[in-house]
Amino acid sequence: MVQPNAKEQLVLAAERLFAEHGLDGTSLRQISAAAGNGNNTAVQYHFGSKARLIQAIFEYRLHDLNRRRDALVAQLGPRDIRGWLECHVAPVLEQGEREGSHYLSFVARLQQHGRRDVLGHLSPELLAPDRRFRERAGALLRHLPEPLRGHRIAQTMIFSVHAGSEREQSRARHEHVLPFAVHLRDLLDGLVGFLQSPVSSETLSALGEHIPHEPAPPLHP
């Protein structure tokens, strides 16, 4: 087994500590110590700042995650909303099955902090699968008026991350969880139902009382 180098150790330590204690509750000094680095300024040396370290965690995970998404799209050839949702969400949830992963809990923490600014510095290549999914999902949900369509897609992404985070933490505590295949498909059942559910007259009435606006896309891996 290949051991992570110094930068990878810092990234993995930061992912775990951010997931456990949040951004404000974790110092760069603590990250260096958790990575087994005797140099208290190791994070500054390799990354420069906490914000750049957060970006490095996404870069570390998203390359493999996106390759898996592309492979699923090629394999399954999705044509409906469930197919596209599976291709996009399954690789995210699979991250939580990896030994020692804290990625989903890390992303859930960032969502709670509203730290969308970190995505602005990631390469367009890393963000392309997310844009692709939003475009495909939007095209398949034309029965939903905006801004409800964008809102449901955003809420689906948020819920999938937090559901994965809960499972990731349960596994870390050695608690009982459903087999992954069951967990994934049951979650997809619920998400598809939420996305495709007709809009009620009550919601349309409430929407008519407010000026439509485009929801900000959520922070999503």
**Contact by Cβ (8 Å): 169, 113:** no
What is the distance between the alpha carbons of residues 51 and 48, in angstroms, rounded to a whole number? Answer: 8
Neighbouring CB atoms inside 10 A of 116's CB total 14
pLDDT on residue 217? 58
Position 1 scores a pLDDT of 43
Token pair 């906490």 in the structure block, residue: 50
pLDDT of residue 115: 66
Rounded distance between C-alpha atoms, residue 23 and residue 7, angstroms: 19
Residues lower than pLDDT 70 in the chain: 1-4, 38, 115-117, 210-221
- The pLDDT tens digits for 128-178 are 999 999 999 999 999 999 999 999 999 999 999 999 999 999 999 999 999
